[in-house]
């Protein structure tokens, strides 16, 4: 196969959660450029529709289905809607997440802890199970979980977030064994990217990182890794955690 053929997603259908902004938006557009039709979900319909318009402008089909990933009762209707429209899901990206800071561990409320875990871990667990089972029955697919280097470099103010992402890393291994060999399940572990969330960071955090590449990532720089894991280029890769963090120590 040529390099172009390895990364070709023509005829594939991708479902991307949190696909209306940040890394999710870039992956949606990257998949569409590679030939995939894309289902886009987040809580805000208008934001999803704006990205869907970009997808259709490329000549690809797009489905918008607003959903709160932390609510299990909304996940099965989401999956059903994608199958009703496209008849399949070949690629699932569990990208939706939240990363609020807490004043301290003691001041982390139960409600905040539960909200973080619901969106970052429980939702991806359920969605991957719903989609993974159908993928396996259909004979193949790829699931990509979006974690964080915070899972291996936790700090007190985002301890609940780090714990939820560490759980997602563990879940990747379990899913790979449950739905393999037909379905490959991998994790991307991003470092500091200049998404809209980064607007609240102090200037020094936005301008320099302690990595071997001492800068924050541009959101578009996630696309190459996502395409690799979504495509035939990574046919022998599963259960892996790929860091995209500029070489953080």
Known catalytic residue at 161: yes
The two structure tokens encoding residue 141? 């697919």
HSE, CB side, 13 Å, CA atoms: give it for residue 109. 4
The CA-based dihedral angle spanning residues 135, 80, 75, 92, taken in that order and rounded to the nearest 10 degrees: 40
CB 128 within 8 A of CB 94: yes
List Cβ neighbours of 69 (8 Å cut-off, separation of 6 or more).
17, 18, 41, 75, 96, 119, 123, 124, 127
Active-site residue, from 83, 161, 179, 228: 161
For residue 47, with 0-12 CB atoms within 10 Å meaning exposed, 13-18 middle and 19 or more buried, which class applies? middle
User: Would you please indicate which residues are annotated as catalytic (active-site) residues?
Assistant: 161
């Amino acid at each position: 196969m040529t390099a172009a053929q390895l990364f070709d997603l023509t005829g594939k259908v991708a479902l991307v959660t949190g696909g209306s902004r940040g890394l999710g938006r870039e992956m949606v557009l990257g998949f569409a450029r590679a030939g995939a039709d894309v289902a886009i979900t987040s809580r805000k319909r208008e934001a999803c529709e704006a990205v869907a318009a970009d997808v259709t402008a490329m000549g690809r089909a797009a489905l918008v289905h607003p959903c709160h990933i932390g609510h299990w009762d909304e996940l099965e209707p989401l999956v059903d809607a994608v199958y009703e429209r496209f008849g399949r899901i070949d690629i699932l990206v569990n990208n939706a997440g939240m990363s609020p800071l807490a004043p301290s561990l003691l001041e982390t409320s139960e409600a905040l802890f539960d909200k973080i875990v619901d969106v970052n871990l429980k939702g991806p667990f359920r969605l991957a199970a719903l989609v993974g089972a159908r993928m396996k029955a259909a004979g193949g697919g790829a699931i990509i979980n979006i974690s964080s280097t915070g899972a291996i470099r936790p700090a007190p103010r985002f301890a609940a977030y780090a714990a939820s992402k560490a759980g997602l890393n563990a879940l990747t291994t379990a899913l790979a064994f449950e739905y393999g060999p037909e379905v490959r399940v991998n994790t991307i572990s991003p470092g500091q990217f200049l998404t809209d969330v980064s607007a609240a960071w102090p200037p020094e955090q936005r301008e320099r990182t302690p990595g071997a590449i001492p800068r924050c990532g541009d959101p578009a720089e996630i696309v190459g890794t996502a395409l690799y894991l979504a495509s035939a280029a990574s046919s022998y890769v599963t259960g892996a955690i790929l860091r995209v963090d500029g070489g953080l120590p």
